Chains A and B, each alone.
Chain A
Amino acid sequence: MPNPPDTEGAPALRVLVPSMDAGSVDDFIRVARPLSVEPFAPARMAFLEALSRTLLAHPKLRRDPAGASLGFWLRRAHLAALESDFRAQAFAGRRVAAGLVFHVAPANVDTMFIYSWALSFLAGNSNVVRLTTRMSPLMADLLACLDALFIGKPDGCRGNLFVTFGHNDEVAARLSAACDLRFVWGGDDTVLKLRATELSPHASERSFASKRSLSVIAAGAYLAADVQDRGRLADRMAADMAPFGQMACSSPQTVYWAGGKRDCDRALADFDRRLQRAMAAKLGEADLGWAVRRLNSAFSSAADGAAEQLTHRQHVTQVVAISPERAEAEVPCGVGLLTHARVKSADAVVALLRRSHQTITYFGLNDAERDGLAQDAGRAGVDRVVPIGRALDFGPYWDGYNLWDDLTRLVVVQ
């Protein structure tokens, strides 16, 4: 799939999938809404399963961590789990598809457009998905897989369209006026810009603004863990950091070590070595551009007086901040840079949190500590408290919302 030109003001709207017999977007809008089906329709389950098989057999995608994760997410067992979760939603009447959903997918997470669409597809909706004009090779491969399936099963998935267009308010306005739900994946600028574009009076919107995420590790628990557990933890951290250049909103940018100074320093030194190895295993050959970006970011933090120590190595650059406040104030660098700070106890991070925080990944907290943190951090703005290694697991409860509620309408039956 060729990269579309990303020129100033280019309004050109291109239908990416299905590539055959696309017709115009206006034609699509006219017919799409009535094509919604009942939630978890067997044909749609079968379609996503087929997509899963395609991805997991794809020579490139099955080797790509993000592509493989998506393939697993779409496999039958997980779809069944999603269905039971959906059926368990307490409502005495009927849940029906919301209708036509307009998705504005993010540019930073290449696979997000499929997750967003798949959840809505399962809920029975018709969908139009707007992708960034700056297509990555991974996105192009995913689209090609989708397209092949669409061509094979044109009936199973009518009412679904994947498009791209540049900064074009007119196209965005038409789709916004036509849809029943607008799903907008941030940044903040995108969310605010689209919020000014009117929806139908009957439609609603769910927007996912810019977020940042962090990790909390109990230093004592880390030091008490055996080498296998430490190695596994490093692998899981790498799984949370390596995809998408660490720029997914859920990938941690900062790590707070809870405990005394000596324990924290020892734990970080040990963790650093293991994380370098784990990242090398995930990423293979290190990227020169990334290394220079990490180097510049770390030295800039030092020059700002925010860092007391920095170490730059093959895959990971570690910056130790002078305080937790300074750590959380650093602009995310991504691409393998972690900013560390010490805290007396895990709940000390609560004071750092804002509404723009999303995920806390943790290690070494007992259930009571975790639940206490979830309560206080949640009130401060955090939406997810999950073990290290699950930062990127997408699900129907996201950014604090029950997406099943967004994607369906409730019909009272008495």
Chain B
Amino acid sequence: MNTNSAEIAGELLAGLPFGLRENEKRAILLPALDALTRHHYGQSEVFRRVVDAAFGGLKRRAYSDLEELPFVPVSLFKRHELRSVPPNQVFRVLTSSGTTGQSVSRVYLDRATAELQAKALVRIVQHFIGKARLPMIVLDHEDVVREPSTYSARAAGILGLMQFGRRPIYALRPDMSFDAEKVLAYLAELKGEPPLFFGFTYIVWQHALEALRGAGRRLAPNNGVLIHSGGWKKMEGAGVGADEFAAAARAGLGVARVLNFYGMVEQVGSVFFENSIGALHAPVFADVIVRDPFTLHPLAAGRRGLLQVLSVLPQGYPGHSLLTEDLAEWCGVDDAAAGMPGRFFRVLGRAPRSEVRGCSDTYAQSA
């Protein structure tokens, strides 16, 4: 554990999650991420090799800019064991919910990192929904969270958000059908108290909102909130945009507010919620950079490139600076219209996968 960066992380988590202007935030993040870079360089052979080969080794003097810090592509989590603690300190392994045929990311968590992640999520979510623990309806089924030591991204998300709920129920049956009777009975017991709904965007759409619409049903909770997350790729496939989704959620679930956030299993806790203008907003302990996919140079606002996410939370594995395969543009900083200080951005989709046909790719696999 790196005391310096862990202390800074602790201090940032103690303050307001969106309480710093960008230059103030960077002045705190930079030494913390500098220290984390050096810490992981010393503890993770995989990280050290990457820094040596791709960044010419560690910088002797302190890094002068967030843009100067080394990063690793998120794809490395699929084939390499990225960890800066000995194996006996890994208490949980998170896995991405990779689609069929794709390899799965594995993220090795030590207790300290997991605690920071949980705390960070609390600070951010409380900023949006307040401190009261709300009655919670998970728009998923319970079997998802039943695996013991290896959590899928879906389970990690549900369990992370569960901290904000009381008496949680699962609205879906194991066959993914919507259990309207169970939900209605639960809502009836609330006596006007607002509930918290949580689920992954596509699952919410496909298995809750579509089911409710199909049945002509409309739940009517009092002033409820829906928090949802997860890629928009399938939603685009279904031809559904953010506005239509939010409208359907208000209509079907009867919620007053719909909150979307962007996050990934490789940086749990470091989530980016939509601000008042619908852009994703970086909290105090995280930041984003957009890089040119061809030169890796940082790009100015409004230019489309690969999103890099920085976070002081990953103390036990070198995931503090990740280059994602998501295309994004950052759109502003410290803008009063956004309602909060700091940098905000939009995710524009996933970089296309190139189909490469090797020689070993002809009749035998062409089934």
Question: A58-66, A254-262, A298-306, A347-355: which one contacts chain B?
Answer: A298-306
Chain A residue nearest to B45 (CB atoms) is A305
Tell whether B158 is near chain A: CB-to-CB under 8 Å: no
Min distance, Cβ B326 to any Cβ of chain A, angstroms: 11
The answer on a CB contact under 8 Å between A185 and B362 is: yes
A-B interface contact total, Cβ < 8 Å? 150
Name which of B75, B358, B364 has the most chain A CB atoms within 10 A of its CB: B358
Q: Kindly report which residue of chain A lies nearest to residue B327, judged by CB atoms.
A: A288
A93 on the B face (CB < 8 A) = no
A143 interface contact, C-beta 8 A: no
Complex Cα gap A293–B46 (Å): 19
Are B359 and A194 neighbours in the complex by a CB distance under 8 Å?
A: no
Chain A residues, CB < 8 A from B45: 305
Complex CA–CA separation, A212 to B45 (angstroms): 30
* Residue among B72, B356, B362 with max Cβ neighbours from chain A (10 Å): B362
A179 at the interface (CB under 8 A from B): no
B360 within 8 A of A: yes
Given the known interface contacts A6-B366, A291-B294, the answer about A108 and B53 at a Cβ–Cβ threshold of 8 Å is: no
Whether A210 is near chain B, meaning CB under 8 Å from some CB there, is yes
Contact (A9, B357) CB under 8 Å given A288-B351, A291-B293: no
Q: Are B363 and A104 in contact (CB under 8 A)?
A: yes
**CB atoms of A186 and B359 under 8 A apart:** yes
Please indicate which of the listed interface residues A296, A309, A315 has the most CB atoms of chain B within 10 Å of its own CB: A296
With both chains docked as a complex, state the minimum distance between the C-beta of B60 and any C-beta of chain A, in angstroms.
18
Asked if B366 and A303 make an inter-chain contact with CB atoms under 8 angstroms apart, the answer reads no
Which residue of B46, B295, B362 contacts A187 across the interface (Cβ within 8 Å)? B362
Q: Are A108 and B359 in contact (CB under 8 A)?
A: yes
Contact of A293 among B50, B76, B294, B354 (CB under 8 A): B354
A95 is an interface residue with CB less than 8 A from chain B: no
Instruction: Flag whether B234 is at the interface (Cβ < 8 A).
Output: no
Q: Which residues of A contact B354 (CB under 8 A)?
A: 245, 287, 289-290, 292-293, 335
A303 and B46 contact, CB distance less than 8 A = yes
A314 contacts the other chain (Cβ, under 8 Å)? yes
Least Cβ–Cβ distance between B128 and chain A, in angstroms: 33
| Cross-chain contact A292 with B306 (CB below 8 angstroms) | yes
> Which among B356, B360, B363 has the highest number of chain A CB atoms within 10 Å?
B363
Interface residues on A, range: 35 or more
The residues of A that contact B363 with a CB separation of less than 8 Å are: 104, 130, 132, 167, 172, 184, 190, 193-194
* Most chain A C-beta atoms within 10 Å of own C-beta, residue among B49, B357, B364: B357
Say yes or no: is A13 at the interface (Cβ < 8 Å to chain B): no
Q: Which residue of B lies closest to A315 (CB)?
A: B294
What 1/0 flags go to A121-164 for Cβ under 8 Å of B? 00000000010111000000000000000000000000000000
Closest to A307 in B: B53
When each residue 258-272 of chain B gets 1 if its CB lies under 8 Å from chain A and 0 otherwise, what string results?
Answer: 000000000000000
Partner of B366, one of A134, A286, A304: A134
Question: Closest residue of chain A to B295, judged by CB?
Answer: A313
Residue of A166, A287, A289 with highest tally of chain B CB at under 10 A: A289
Nearest-neighbour CB distance to chain B for A336, whole angstroms, equals: 10
* Cα–Cα, bound, A289→B360 (Å): 21
Among residues of B, the one whose C-beta sits closest to the C-beta of A305 is B49
Does A249 count as interface, using CB distance less than 8 angstroms? Answer: yes
Docked-complex contact A9 and B367, CB < 8 angstroms: yes
Write the nearest CB–CB distance from A310 to chain B, whole angstroms: 5
- Complex interface: chain A residues within 8 A of B46 (CB): 303
Q: Which residue of B lies closest to A210 (CB)?
A: B359
Known contacts: A193-B363, A194-B363, A292-B351. The answer to whether A298 contacts B358 by CB under 8 A is: no
A192 to B365, CA, bound (A): 12
Main secondary structure of the interface of B (DSSP, over half): loop
User: A190 and B296: CB pair below 8 A?
Assistant: no
CB distance from B362 to the nearest CB of A (A): 4
Chain B residues in 8 Å Cβ range of A172? 363
A312 touches B296 (CB 8 A): yes
Measured between beta carbons, the chain A residues less than 8 angstroms from B360 are 186-190, 210
CB neighbors of A among B66-115 (8 A): 72-73, 75-76, 79-80
In the complex, are the beta carbons of A299 and B54 less than 8 A apart?
yes
Residues of chain B lying within 8 A (CB to CB) of residue A290: 354
**Is B306 in contact with A303, judged by CB distance below 8 angstroms?**
no
Whole-angstrom CA separation of A313 from B352 in the bound complex: 18
A300 & B351 in contact (Cβ 8 Å cutoff): no
Chain B residues whose C-beta falls within 8 Å of the C-beta of A104 in the assembled complex: 362-363
Enumerate A165-200 residues with CB–CB distance to B below 8 Å: 166-167, 172, 184-190, 192-194
Q: Which residues of B contact A335 (CB under 8 A)?
A: 354, 356
Let me know if A327 is at the binding interface, CB within 8 A: no
Contact code string A298-332 (vs B, CB < 8 Å = 1, else 0)? 11111111011110111100000000000000001
> With the chains together, A186 CA to B360 CA distance in Å?
6
Residues on the B chain within 8 Å of A247, using CB: 356-359
Q: CB of B175 within 8 A of chain A?
A: no
- Contact: B76 with A303, CB < 8 Å? yes
Are B357 and A286 in contact, CB atoms less than 8 angstroms apart?
no
Say if the beta carbon of B361 comes within 8 Å of chain A: yes
Q: Does any Cβ of A come within 8 Å of B210's Cβ? A: no
B52 interface residue per 8 A CB criterion? yes
14 additional A-B pairs beyond A108-B362, A189-B360, A288-B352, beta carbons within 8 Å, are A106-B359, A133-B366, A190-B360, A210-B359, A247-B359, A289-B351, A289-B354, A290-B354, A299-B54, A299-B73, A303-B49, A303-B50, A303-B79, A334-B358
Sorted from nearest, which 3 A-B pairs have the closest CB atoms?
A187-B360, A289-B354, A167-B367
Q: Could you give 27 example pairs across A and B, Cβ below 8 Å? A: A6-B366, A10-B367, A104-B362, A132-B363, A166-B366, A187-B364, A189-B360, A189-B364, A190-B364, A210-B359, A289-B351, A289-B354, A291-B293, A292-B306, A292-B354, A295-B296, A300-B75, A300-B79, A303-B72, A304-B49, A305-B45, A307-B49, A308-B53, A309-B53, A313-B294, A315-B294, A335-B356
Q: Which B residues lie at the A interface, using CB under 8 A?
A: 45-46, 49-50, 52-54, 56, 72-73, 75-76, 79-80, 293-296, 306, 323, 325, 327, 351-354, 356-367
